Chain A
């Protein structure tokens, strides 16, 4: 064999060996994919299955069939591919944690008409996604839903959002494992909703049914039922939680039923207002006074909902005027001028109780004409906690102020608030936990309304009068507007807060922890605040406050710049010093006379 052919043969062998090595490495990666080993280094174990999820999976006694509706080829939505891989990986992890009792199957409704029909039947609808080609627009049906079947029951996640999948999965699994779907009762003075007919689309509710959105939000995971409190029924047995929404002129019997519900260990949310505002012409609001009928009963539990309205400097920015500007191109640009409307407080992360599962994960919330709500002194056996607070720059206004949202009135309200006294942070929602003592004597029980009792089908059994029978939970918010249709768009923070609150009232707390799970807020120290606090806080006088504000901002910016540029310049300076030291060392060493080993002179 010639030298060149030997070399060619050696080269071939070497490249083959390299390819073999690549194959070995790829095989090792594939094997690992089947038996994943991972370490979650995050403090909150954000990327590991929560103990609550594992506990639910451990309760499976039968096979849980999970069907994932995905397009195999996601033409036009390729950017969703990484998110889909996250979903598939999480489902694989859940299946592994179930010890073989959970089976995942993926189907593509775009290529399988039977699957498409079934998906529609169970409530999984495709999203129409516009895909742009040059000169034309096409729409692609995109499926990303999940169906869970366990024994004879089923649950559906219509569209899977990877970041919320674990909570959505666990909440539905909890419902599948429960004997029946938990029911939330809603008590309000709204008109009745339109009757439902199976298979028929629901007609729109009347506009006065202001909590229709809230019912829809809750209906995704609970049965929702309108309840009457005057007919005498076993509410505590039927309901997982009760929402008393904007109570008005409650009768003694209705209050008694609520009292007994809590005394039996019920969980109730009271959304209380002293007035109702309706929008009028020219940025005005009409005020109508409300008497809930609950004030005395609440005071009996130590809860006080003030009649004053809250004015918070962190108000919702409302558009009060328009500014028209002609651009150099001749086009007219219209921009809105906004002012913070302090009667609609915007609560931020620091307003929520950090140690409560229902509020810990909440980032923001809007309230509307809210009232300070506090527990003056909780009765024995009850523990009180504040769930929501206004910002530290809040004041109280009388509840008969003109609430119009034109610039002049907003300015006037602001001046009135500033002159009312020192700013403070006011509690806006409270929770009471423990055994609720009855506030009615056993021998002075209000009788049910005869007509209402006759209406009730079937006629309720008269329940025995009880007091502090089992631990209950009462949440009172001094605002009934925050969960009304106009302010409860799906996905808004108000909707998320409603879900969290109801979950807390109705479910296992570990599931709520799952919802608020995730990286906790890790704020930076505020040089601005440190500067202001070092000078005794912001003064009340506006001119002095603005001056201190400017100085604090300047100081903050200067310190931030010093830190940033210090980090940029420190390594080069350090290296320059090291280089200099190194250079001097070599210079000194080279200047030394040569001494051979063994001690001989040069």
Chain B
């Protein structure tokens, strides 16, 4: 409940500047641009949104750190982190509040892409199952990306550094499959790396198969990075 109070405060403050508006405008516009204009949707002549959901992870890699980069680093740079700690909030509430605010903004951006499936439904008869799966996968992946971005925001007082670190980490987690199938990697390690790859779990859900293992993987990744975030904040309190 306390986390919710903080999330609302963060949400409101995000909309006091044009940043949230610009983000909410650009994210769905970029998704539509890559899908309809650059992705050759009409050339494929098929009412399928696989191409759209194939683009989303790449967008989330850049979008999630953009949303989270200022959340902790700005507090630290402005000296308000100490002030925040004087409030009757536990670290858990603080981390969860920031996470909910950033995730809410990302979810709002995702919901603004609804025009794309509606357009495809007008143009043909897409299979609705994979579309719901695609949005579920995007929300789960988005949550994990936000948690990672938030963790790196807590690690530094510089927003740009937080953004760069966040993007690098997300590129790593989304590109593990390339390492897994590289010649130098033994098969057993390749199998392990594929299990850690964000894209492998994402694709499975986007194709319309919601496997509890994939869902739990994203939940675990989100929880793990939120815990690390809390640890970093706790550690800073110690002299």
Contact = CB atoms under 8 A, between A and B. Distances in A.
Interface stretch (B61-69, B155-163, B165-173, B204-212): B204-212
Interface centre among B116, B209, B239 (most CB of A within 10 A): B209
A525 B123 CA distance: 5
Contact of A521 (B15, B46, B128, B227): B46
A582 B125 CA distance: 37
B186 to A, nearest CB: 6
A571 interface: yes
B234 interface: yes
A525 B124 contact: yes
Nearest to B48: A522
Contact of A82 (B124, B194, B210): B194
Interface string B77-103: 000000000000000000000000000
Contacts of A21: 223-224, 227
A81 B187 contact: yes
Nearest to A578: B21
Given A524-B124, A568-B33, A78 B191 contact: no
A41 B29 CA distance: 27
Interface stretch (A141-149, A187-195, A416-424, A558-566): A558-566
B212 A36 contact: yes
Interface stretch (B3-11, B129-137, B142-150): B129-137
Given A41-B208, A575-B21, A523 B115 contact: no
Contacts of B181: 78-79, 81-82
B36 A568 contact: yes
A59 B238 CA distance: 67
Interface residues of A, number: 60
B182 A47 contact: no
Interface in A416-438: none
A72 interface: yes
Nearest to B221: A25
Contact of A571 (B15, B112, B127): B112
Nearest to B18: A579
Contact of B29 (A73, A525, A571): A571
Interface in A56-111: 72-76, 78-79, 81-82, 85
A32 B213 CA distance: 6
A15 interface: yes
A14 B180 CA distance: 32
Given A82-B177, A522-B125, A38 B211 contact: yes
Contact of A29 (B132, B191, B213, B228): B213
B182 A575 contact: no
Given A78-B182, A578-B21, A40 B208 contact: yes
A41 B210 contact: yes
Contacts of A521: 46
A46 interface: yes
Contacts of B125: 522
A42 interface: yes
A108 to B, nearest CB: 10
B127 A76 contact: no
Given A523-B46, A572-B25, A582-B15, A11 B235 contact: yes
Nearest to A576: B25
Contacts, number: 167
A29 B183 contact: no
Contacts of B123: 524-525, 563
Nearest to B16: A586
Given A11-B235, A522-B126, A571 B48 contact: no
B45 A524 contact: yes
B24 interface: yes
Interface string A268-300: 000000000000000000000000000000000
Interface in B200-231: 200, 207-213, 216-217, 220, 223-224, 227-228, 231
Contacts of B210: 38-39, 41
Nearest to B118: A567
A523 B45 CA distance: 6
Contacts of B59: none
Interface in A1-32: 3-4, 7, 10-11, 14-15, 18, 21-22, 25-26, 28-29, 32
Contacts of B235: 11, 14
A567 B210 CA distance: 28
A463 interface: no
Contacts of B207: 42, 47
Given A78-B181, A522-B48, A578-B21, A18 B227 contact: yes
A43 interface: yes
A41 B223 contact: no
B57 interface: no
A73 B186 CA distance: 7
Nearest to A131: B183
A106 to B, nearest CB: 12
A47 B208 contact: yes
B112 to A, nearest CB: 5
A82 B200 CA distance: 9
A361 to B, nearest CB: 15
A522 B32 contact: no
Given A47-B207, A567-B32, A522 B183 contact: no
B124 A36 contact: no
Nearest to B187: A73
A464 interface: no
A37 interface: yes
A40 B36 contact: no
Nearest to B41: A564
A569 interface: yes
Given A76-B183, A568-B37, A7 B238 contact: yes
Given A81-B180, A525-B123, A567 B36 contact: yes
Contacts of A43: 127-129
A11 B237 CA distance: 10
Interface centre among A36, A43, A524, A570 (most CB of B within 10 A): A524
A74 B231 contact: no
A519 interface: yes
Nearest to B213: A32
A519 B36 contact: no
A33 interface: yes
Interface centre among B181, B208, B231 (most CB of A within 10 A): B208
B213 to A, nearest CB: 5
A85 to B, nearest CB: 7
Contacts of A568: 29, 32-33, 36-37
Nearest to A6: B238
Contacts of B18: 579
A571 B124 contact: no
Contacts of B216: 25, 28-29, 32
Contacts of B41: 564
18 contacts: A29-B217, A36-B212, A38-B209, A42-B129, A42-B207, A42-B208, A44-B127, A75-B183, A82-B177, A82-B194, A85-B191, A522-B124, A524-B42, A524-B45, A567-B36, A568-B32, A571-B112, A571-B113
What 4 A-B pairs come out closest when comparing CB atoms? A41-B129, A7-B238, A564-B36, A25-B220
Interface of A: 3-4, 7, 10-11, 14-15, 18, 21-22, 25-26, 28-29, 32-33, 36-44, 46-47, 72-76, 78-79, 81-82, 85, 131, 519, 521-525, 560, 563-565, 567-572, 574-576, 578-579, 582
